[in-house]
Amino acid sequence: MSTRTFPRWSILCVLACLTVLFVPSLVNAHCDTMNGPVVAAAKKALETGNVNFVLIWVKKNDEAEIKMAFEKTLAVRKLGSEAKKLADKYFFETLVRIHRAGEGVPYTGLKPAETVVDPGIAAADRSLETGSTEQLLKHLNEEVRNGIHQKFEQAMTKKKFNTDNVEAGREYVEAYVQFIHYVERLFQAASKPAAGHFHDTE
């Protein structure tokens, strides 16, 4: 048996789902960084004076609070450079806090721009920026192949154990369970809708 028997398209689809379903903390962290999409939208809104750039990141019933914070921020920004910095930070924090509340996760503060983001998330963002999924698919395909191959080989190397060696048998069972559960999670992820932003229908 070889990992090559897995169709290329199925591996890619599986990991795409897995990235969203099984690393929610990384996804959330991506949205509360200073160089993440939410703060980027906030900067665009303040630069243009158009609040609609950020309203898409919050639920409808939170629009009023965001609009009020936006107007306050625009007014304070006119008072000088220091006031502008403080006002912008207030707006970024308010927007991210409300955005995360809409996802059902706590707000733990804005993370620095240099915060490490999961490579898969970064690749997904770049695919939208460039209009191409080529690099994203390459990254996902490599991750899934490596994960399956590693756990498969671990199980295979322990499979031929002496029946009288109970400890060796247990080692095989442990490797077997890890391999089977890993593949099981992949297929479960592929067959379920991906949870994400605003997963509750309004």
SS3 labels along 131-183? CCCHHHHHHHHHHHHHHHHHHHHHHHHHHCCCCCCHHHHHHHHHHHHHHHHHH
Instruction: Name the pLDDT band for 12 (thresholds 50, 70, 90).
Output: very low
Q: Is the pTM of this model over 0.75?
A: no
Residue-level pLDDT at 197? 52
Mean per-residue pLDDT over the chain, rounded: 82
Phi and psi angles of residue 16, each rounded to the nearest 5 degrees, phi first: -60, -45
Q: In the chain, where are the structural domains located?
A: 1-22+123-202, 24-117
pLDDT tens digits along 20-68 = 444 444 444 578 889 889 999 999 999 999 999 999 999 999 999 999 9
Determine which of 75-84, 116-125, 160-169 has the lowest per-residue pLDDT on average: 116-125
Q: Tell me the CA distances in angstroms from 120 to 117, 126, 137, one per residue in order.
A: 8, 10, 10
Q: Enumerate helices (H) and strands (E) in the chain, giving the number of each.
A: 9, 0
Query: Is pLDDT of 14 > 60?
Result: no
Query: Is pLDDT of 5 > 70?
Result: no
